[in-house]
Structure 1
């Protein structure tokens, strides 16, 4: 069996950040498909619905045929206000995994370490699951990054970004559920290289890679793919 290590993500920003992290950890992993939208041309954007209805079922079928050796899924919890949140998002993904023969354990106190589910049949690889931001609360990738900035300068920049956003008034057009995206985009627009991506910002030390939350995420990635 060819050694194929596959990571499924929701969209471009997730891919960019995870690709940089994977390179830093020296893990041999392919983000496949490039984004969920590449599987569904009718989709207006990338997102968890395309991932869980198309990309993940395809990957699980390949896994059962031993065409894949390692598989992990990263999705955003999003907000309970949107009708989602950590508990519902986990249920959406684990229900599908269970249909493919995976053993779904009950939520544990150490859930913020991510999860890895075993199959009922010996020889079929496990599947890793991480729900952003911390595999325990509502939110998204941007919340994980914003909560783990690397130094006081970045904290000050974020404070200025928050002030600018709050002063938009009627000029603000994005939804409340996209506030974290707006905050991170503004912060990254004010870096040494304006508009740098989250992945390059990670490499440049914008985020505290030694924080408990980012350490837990990297340890989960290593546990799935090493």
Structure 2
């Protein structure tokens, strides 16, 4: 790999290393052209959405930057997450920012500013996170999917779940992965190994967003 003296002109920012590995695996699976880089979150001092948002004004003022994509979790408040991103973009000079991203993700170009794109996990419409998005790679009729949900329901009914209910999607996907031929394989590697492979329309929408953003 050739070392760059300057940051890549097209970048995609993600919250953490799980996001990094999942998106890299999807890009390989769907043959997304290698026209952009995903800076490794573990190279930042701290991972997570707040450090990412705090860094936006600085990153967007880089004169070498042409395109910036942002992928973050909605968590428990989709509108608050979008508002936080909007406020940072407005502080740099972006205008005509809509009230939401739209199901297809948001892409915007404004004179003298980098092209910008935002995808809010899982699908720009619902609260949730990366793990909810990854769950779309499991077919609806998968029997282990139903069983994993039954087990989690039972744990919560008995109040013996160790996880916070806001983290149920994490508990679900890792439970499901623990029951595969190679138990406990990480999400990104599970995509690469075609354990997670269902071609859901939401996954395809994400790939379309990437291709359009970096075309």
TM-score, structure 2 as length reference: 0.85
Cα deviation for residue 98 of structure 1 reads: 1.2
Deviations 1:99-152 (A, max 9, x none): 1112243247x8100001223x34x32111000111122111211222442363
Counterparts of residues 119-198 of structure 1 (less than 5 Å): 119=110, 121-122=111-112, 124-150=113-139, 152=141, 155-168=142-155, 169-198=158-187
CA distance in 2, matches of 1:53, 1:159: 39
Cα deviation for residue 198 of structure 1 reads: 1.6
Runs (5+) with no aligned partner, structure 1: 80-84
1:200 aligns with 2:189: yes
Evaluate the alpha carbon distance shift between residue 222 and residue 86 of structure 1 in structure 2; reply closer, same or farther with a 3 A threshold.
same
Evaluate the alpha carbon distance shift between residue 170 and residue 96 of structure 1 in structure 2; reply closer, same or farther with a 3 A threshold.
same
1:73 to 70, 85, 97: 70
The answer as to whether partners of 2:136 and 2:203 remain within 8 angstroms in 1 is no
1:30 — aligned with what? 37
Give the RMSD, CA atoms, in angstroms: 2.2
1:50 aligns with 2:51: yes
CA distance in 1, matches of 2:161, 2:173: 15
Counterparts of residues 96-111 of structure 1 (less than 5 Å): 96-107=88-99, 111=102
1:59 — aligned with what? 59
Q: Secondary structure at the match of 2:119?
A: strand
CA distance in 2, matches of 1:187, 1:104: 42
Count of residue pairs the alignment pairs up? 205
TM-score, structure 1 as length reference: 0.81
Evaluate the alpha carbon distance shift between residue 87 and residue 151 of structure 1 in structure 2; reply closer, same or farther with a 3 A threshold.
closer
Runs (5+) with no aligned partner, structure 2: 1-5
CA distance in 1, matches of 2:7, 2:121: 30
CA distance in 2, matches of 1:175, 1:75: 20
Deviations 1:53-91 (A, max 9, x none): 13x2332122xx1x2222100000011xxxxx1111111
1:4 aligns with 2:1: no
1:82 — aligned with what? none
